[in-house]
């Protein structure tokens, strides 16, 4: 007689375990698969502090002669702050060093669009006129 309640308790416990085991795959099917965060494209929002930081790092690389790294940082700065004229100016100078005239032209044109009254605007206009 003592064994009957014990057997019932064990049977009920094993039934709950089997229900959990059966429901586990359903829970996994409902969850979306994990995504590798490094594969997602980077999303940019207006962030002038990040833009300023990227500009400073870009200038460091430019002075060291690492123009590819400088170009990447200047481009990042323009993505964080699309109205950052100084970043476009330095991006144009770096593209010029890398001998990509079309991209340099685009960067200089954007610089003049953002800062038409800059003190070096005339020099940049001459560079643009000489590129064509």
Residue with tokens 């593209």: 95
pLDDT band at 44 (very low <50, low <70, confident <90, very high): confident
| Radius of gyration, CA atoms only, the chain | 30
Number of domains observed in the structure of the chain: 1
Give pTM, 2 decimals: 0.69
The answer to the question of residue 91 being in a domain is: yes
The answer to the question of residue 110 being in a domain is: yes
The answer to the question of residue 94 being in a domain is: yes
pLDDT band at 41 (very low <50, low <70, confident <90, very high): confident
The answer to the question of residue 33 being in a domain is: no
The answer on pLDDT for 25 being more than 70 is no
Range of the domain at 74: 48-131
Q: Are 70 and 61 in contact (CB under 8 A)?
A: yes
Q: Are 71 and 94 in contact (CB under 8 A)?
A: yes
CATH classification at residue 105: 1.25.40.10
The answer on pLDDT for 27 being more than 60 is no
The answer to the question of residue 43 being in a domain is: no
């Amino acid at each position: 007689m003592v064994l009957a309640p014990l057997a019932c308790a064990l049977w009920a416990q094993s039934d709950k375990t089997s229900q959990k085991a059966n429901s586990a795959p359903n829970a996994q099917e409902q969850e979306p698969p994990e995504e590798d965060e490094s594969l997602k494209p980077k999303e940019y929002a207006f962030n002038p502090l990040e833009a300023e930081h990227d500009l400073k790092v870009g200038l460091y690389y430019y002075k060291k002669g690492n123009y590819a790294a400088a170009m990447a940082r200047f481009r990042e700065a323009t993505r964080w702050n699309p109205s950052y004229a100084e970043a476009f100016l330095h991006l144009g100078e770096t593209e010029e060093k890398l001998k990509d005239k079309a991209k340099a032209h685009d960067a200089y044109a954007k610089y003049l669009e953002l800062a038409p009254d800059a003190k070096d605007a005339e020099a940049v206009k001459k560079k643009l006129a000489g590129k064509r």
